A and B are shown apart, each in its own frame.
Chain A
């Protein structure tokens, strides 16, 4: 038996990611997720005026700043008992869903599919088609994706001024109302993106594709015409399944979603929030008090077990050379390791195709990435529906001044679905200023280290047990990790403690 510890650094994710793997006879027997960055946002918030969170926290993440803005706004509205008008809720949802859609498309075609052009696959029968479509910054689908996402994110600018990093949501509403011009421009953009999605991504009619309710129906539909089979999705499915990505990278089965497209009347979301318990195969109602964070393997001042974010602490305590290997905490739902993201969203909401595929093949690399494109299609329709709802209330108020001079003392939270899944902000206000601010990002869930009971996080689980054919070019690890849509800038604050063999994907 040979035991080898290897460090991997991985690009084409958001931020920097390093993994440390223990290999025995070529099989991964342990994995430690190692990021590289700690920025101290939680300390920066302390003592600031509560509304400053609307300017500061979107800057946690350049990719999902709209989601942070939304979560921060909800937390402030909750603490002061403010109900925003429907007009504002629809605009917020439009912007958040536009941000998520651009992220899904860019992640797929700028970060995930470039791996298909790896020299390892040069002899594959689809290699020339794959290169023509997916070659980095040059492939036809890649160029179309850049153009379409650039146009799409204009929706956030129309309502919020710019993307990334604006502050157009406020407790009580939004800064600028929708009007007929803005609505028309938004609909034009959505129609253009839909045209591209139908022509280049799925090679067919969106509604027809969204109506497919099971794996066999999906594969029949994709194979039924050369346009569909040769589309980006057709190529992705054929290539990914041919190289076995549907049998690779199973992580935790427990799923978490905070719900997509929240209704203005407070009656929930279009895609329902919830916790999918893999042990019972049932969706349970979401209870934020179940959320707790461990620091047993993290470089923070220690405390026993897990703590709810309101009771949490983020005090860095760098301890190189110990069994701690991370700047990130390990969030758990009760005692469960969960994954979050489009797969979780769609399964928890009971979407037929994803539910069928998850039942028949389990969680895997192909399915996580496919779910991201499935959600993209769903979002395209939901965005248009939201413009209809917005149009119906366009003459109503977009902002109701909550008339708050001094913010009330108390605790609150705001939960939204960011592109990568469940994002929560928990705050405490004392004497009119922020006393505590804790953020649990989607990547904190997915990329978590071991907890105080030694349970590995989702990404770590998805790699343990994997045979690595060539430790010098472990392309399978790149596929698995990128299918999780890592966003390291948010959250993963790890530092590696050993330096042995280095390789890279």
Chain B
């Protein structure tokens, strides 16, 4: 029975909280139907204490199938890692010891994948991700590091990671499925479509009906900082908490599955060149995009111009 060891490093517990929200599959069904054993989770396990688990893993008495890391890897102050410790030991040292023993290592959330919110300027704790610091390969373990499976750290990015993406990835690993990864080592099964895909504001976007002020019904891409057309994530193809997504609810996508999250610019403002966003939908050529937008606006039906449709 494959086991899971889940360790929190520089974290807010948001990924653990999201894990409790998963329903396809749920955490309890992951354990009972998918044959996984939760050997350690700081909030959920009761049978043993962390020191015992650590000794058993390092002493080879317990194998380590799936190591999940939640949180930034904090190296400060002065490379001691003492901003984040367990009984005086830097958590980064514990991660360095355990990672080589694991068949799979999974970064649960953007912090463990890329550094995340704690790595935002000025990165006061000198933190990093497991194999990336923002978009740059390296991180705590180095770009060439591989788990015993031969794969790099699997980056289940998101702030927090999508609940069902976490549990599905774990179920797939339990079933020995091979996960294909993208260039940032995110599993393609969840990171090949944009947040834009499935957003209920798409008809506004399609006809270039853009909001200038938050709280409205239109598209938020041109002016309000929404990165949905650039961000690979399952938020609108598999809804959150069974109901909704941020963009559907009028909250701009802040690109939390991307390595540069949170960006250093004003998060509610779209940077522009002239009247057009500086960063276009993924892969689109500027000249063609502008031609398409001009045509689209001309074709916009009244009911869309008048924002009659609730997203």
Contact = CB atoms under 8 A, between A and B. Distances in A.
A158 B12 contact: no
A203 interface: no
Nearest to B31: A137
Contacts of B88: 495-496, 499
A38 B262 CA distance: 19
Contact of B266 (A49, A156, A166, A174): A49
Contact of B13 (A15, A52, A55, A170): A15
Given A111-B43, A161-B244, A399-B214, A11 B10 contact: no
Interface in A109-144: 110-111, 114, 117, 136-138, 143
Interface stretch (A145-153, A270-278, A332-340, A378-386): A145-153
Contact of B16 (A62, A117, A318): A62
Most chain B Cβ neighbours within 10 Å, of A52, A59, A173? A59
Interface string B5-43: 000101111111110110100111001000000100011
Contacts of A286: none
Contacts of A401: 213-215
Range of interface residues on chain B?
35 or more
A137 B243 CA distance: 24
Contact of A158 (B124, B213, B243, B247): B243
B117 A56 contact: yes
A161 B251 contact: yes
Given A316-B77, A401-B213, A157 B49 contact: no
Nearest to B213: A401
Interface in A140-186: 143, 146, 149-150, 153-154, 156-168, 170, 172-176, 179, 185
B51 A504 contact: yes
A36 B215 contact: no
A11 B86 contact: no
Interface in A29-72: 36-40, 43-44, 49, 51-52, 55-56, 59-63, 65
B12 A59 contact: yes
A65 B11 CA distance: 13
B249 interface: yes
Interface in B72-111: 72, 74, 77, 80, 82-88, 91
Interface size class of A (residues with CB under 8 A): 35 or more
Contacts of A52: 262, 266-268
Nearest to B212: A401
B10 A162 contact: no
A345 interface: no
A106 interface: yes
A457 to B, nearest CB: 20
A176 B125 CA distance: 36
Contacts of A162: 235, 240-241, 244-246, 249
B178 interface: no
Contacts of A172: 215
Contact of B83 (A38, A185, A502): A38
Contacts of A149: 20
B83 A161 contact: no
Nearest to B82: A495
Given A39-B10, A62-B13, A137-B27, A185 B243 contact: yes
Nearest to B15: A62
Interface string B190-232: 0000000000000000000000011100000000000000000
Contact of A36 (B23, B49, B85, B250): B85
A182 B3 CA distance: 40
A176 B243 CA distance: 14
B276 interface: no
B248 interface: yes
A104 interface: no
A117 B241 CA distance: 30
A14 interface: yes
A16 B8 contact: yes
B242 interface: yes
**Interface of chain B, main secondary structure:** loop
Given A49-B266, A496-B87, A154 B243 contact: yes
A45 B31 CA distance: 40
A320 B246 CA distance: 44
Given A16-B8, A166-B249, A499-B88, A174 B267 contact: no
B214 A170 contact: yes
A198 interface: no
A59 B117 contact: yes
B84 to A, nearest CB: 5
B120 interface: yes
A269 to B, nearest CB: 25
B14 A175 contact: no
A7 interface: yes
A38 B80 CA distance: 13
A165 B160 contact: yes
B159 interface: yes
Contact of A161 (B15, B51, B74, B248): B248
Given A161-B248, A163-B21, A40 B118 contact: yes
Contacts of A238: none
Interface string A309-322: 00000001010100
Contacts of A12: 42-44, 46
Given A44-B120, A55-B267, A162-B240, A16 B86 contact: yes
A327 B250 CA distance: 38
A166 B251 contact: yes
A13 interface: yes
Contact of B240 (A51, A63, A161): A161
A269 B248 CA distance: 31
Contact of A157 (B77, B124, B241): B241
B87 A9 contact: yes
A37 B84 contact: yes
B50 interface: yes
B253 to A, nearest CB: 10
Most buried by A among B20, B91, B243, B268: B243
B45 interface: yes
Contacts of A170: 214-215
A489 B42 CA distance: 12
A425 interface: no
Centre residue among B43, B118, B252, B256 by max chain A CB count within 10 A = B43
A153 B160 contact: no
Contacts of B269: 49
B214 to A, nearest CB: 6
Contacts of A399: 214-215
A363 interface: no
Contacts of B252: 167
- Shortest Cβ-Cβ A-B pairs, 8 listed: A62-B14, A40-B124, A399-B215, A175-B250, A161-B249, A162-B240, A161-B246, A157-B241
19 contacts: A15-B11, A36-B91, A37-B83, A39-B10, A39-B118, A44-B122, A49-B268, A55-B262, A59-B159, A62-B160, A137-B44, A150-B21, A164-B17, A165-B14, A166-B251, A172-B215, A179-B310, A398-B215, A504-B49
Given A12-B42, A51-B266, A401-B213, 16 more contacts: A15-B42, A39-B10, A40-B83, A44-B118, A49-B268, A136-B45, A138-B28, A143-B28, A150-B241, A161-B245, A175-B215, A176-B250, A185-B243, A318-B77, A502-B51, A504-B50
